[in-house]
Structure 1
Amino acid sequence: MKENLGAHIAALRKAKGMTQEQLASALGISAPAVSKWETESSCPDITLLCPLARALGTNLDTLLQFEESLPDEQVAEHMNKIIETGREQGQEAAEEMLQKLLHQYPASVPLKYNASAVLTIFEMMFPSASEEMKMQWKQQRKELMEYIRVNGNPAYRGQAVLQLASMALADEELETGERLLKELPEYTADTTMLWAQLYLKRDEKDKALEVIQKRLFTLVGQMQNCLLLLADEKVQPDAEKGLEICEVYRKMEEIFGCTGGMSDGIFAEVFLRAGEKEKALDSIVRFVDAVTGQAMLPNPLLFSAAVKVKEGREAASKEMRQMILEGLLTDEAVAEIREDERFQEAVNVLRDGLRRGAP
């Protein structure tokens, strides 16, 4: 057994959502005994190891941390293969591959993190999946993120807490969301300028340029997200001011070459709030044209070194276009224009692209 067995037991227990008392009850022992394991005051009796592994939803090798590791660089390859399997063979085959991989490498934090993203993609890939299945995916995402949160891996923990907070707020669990948000540092120092200075002093201009451009690209995305929130009806009920915010978003889109054409989706929603149905329809048509066309290339003046987008790449993945189609067909916000001929033509453009199996 490794010296950090106690911390590992605690992480697995918390990821399962169990208290020390509940784990003790499952094993027929006292809660103080579990506490002593987790604080390294004592170790579990050898006869309890198998029952302990079962109670924690793992296997003995994982409990004792003897399992084979999965190199980080292989994780993306596995995830891409699972998504491709889903497209070609369907939900059951893709899910079986994912669960088998998680079982084979149950302590791999990078795998758990990426598996959570794949479960989210499943919801877009398989919109006809049962509500029960979607709830199972959601619950597993929570369990995966909770494991990462309590495991304390600094490379992934912050993002795991963010995702857990987002899920809590979506479920109206406001106190849980607030507690999770408070776990995150309010301010994290931006080291971009220091890295740039370091590279420049070493006469490594290309590295300095790359680190600056990557940071700028991240900040542009964050600014656009803030503009989306500002244009939301709950934040800005005045539709005219909402349209002004949309214009700012569009100008950023044009200047930086990020999320090309996506601003029309925001305009459509705000135009409907303003009672401008014709302008909303115009925006929806342009939005569908954008998401079914080629991706806009980021401004080469600002992002040439750091952001690589393959020329001719689709603007939106098949899963994203499927989600947009579902929204157009079901969202109450567009119900008043759904029967319009131009709206129907836009829907058909999306449907035709999906039928052709475009990537």
Structure 2
Amino acid sequence: MSDCIFSLSRNYIKKIIFIFSAFFFLPIVKAENITPIKIGAIFILSGEGSAWGINAQRGTILAVEEINSSGGIRGRPIEVIYEDEPGGSAVKAVEAYHKLTKIDKVKYILGPSWQDEVMAVAPLSKRDKVIVVGATYMPNPPENMFMVWMDAEIEADRIVDYVIDRFHKVAVLSSQQSWESLVAKRFKKSFESRGGKVAAFFEPLPSATDVKAEALKTKAASPDAIFISSYLLFSKYTRELRRLGVKAPFFSQELDQTAVDSSGKAAEGTIFIRPAQPDNDFLEKFRKRFGTDPDIPAAQSYDALYVLARALKSVGEDYGRLVEHFKNFPAYRGVCGTYRLQGGKTITDTELMVIKNGAIRKLKILN
């Protein structure tokens, strides 16, 4: 009898242990089996322009950590795989795209950093039905791409509004890089349509090491102001023009602290337009996480991932539904202001900045 009772007790204890173990360990097993949503990111992480890509990566990292700590996307964490496009190389961007889509099997990509690379990736991503969301710009992007960036031509119009009220004869210095050339041509067209005169217009190769000829001709044209739409040649233009004694004020578009630092005192007083600065909450979070202030496009890249996450949460991972979501993009309030579509173009808040004592300072908000 006692043996029977002991056997029953032992079996009962085993059942209790089994049930307890199943209850205790089941969540762990489930968590381990959750497949993350893989997202590729193509940023300039080395070479010229790497400050741009590193800021983009840091903004993305911050967004990933926040989204995952809040439960991910429909219960799934996100995993971002970063690939470099050294020096803003379109060839390297395409190589990175192939690696991400063929080896890592991603269906969503952030980036690339600059327009030339975006245009190189665009037809491939459309063919492969890969959703691309970038803190970057491309004119007339295909249906699978959404740009979390102010339309470059409308942004150029906004700075023309500021310049034309003060100066009527300008020189425009740019390069043959696609974005820089697009902005230069738009500025020229808009400025002239408002009654202004463009006395000189130059677009050397973006890899030019010497801009003395362009600077000399600009000086000879005697402009009242100079618009420089080249991030890549900004420091060369400003240094050479000031060396020649040209005192006309500089205006520009989309500069960061790296461009300012490389120009030294030559850039002092330059007024330029760029996306609005992030709110204080983002600034504090970024400083705490990385120990430094953010520069563009950190906040825009942070917003870009949230824009993609919102789409995935809203309509799921079906390609057609995602395309439709971005086609009818509902306005999104990010850390840099509100992003909205207007005639197929992304519109958001912009600010005029001024370089003062070697630092970038806010001058005026332009909406």
TM-score range, shorter chain: under 0.3
Which has more strand, going by share of residues? 2
- TM-score norm. by structure 1 comes to 0.25
Which has more helix, going by share of residues? 1
- TM-score norm. by structure 2 comes to 0.25
Higher RCO (Cα < 8 Å, 6 or more apart): 2
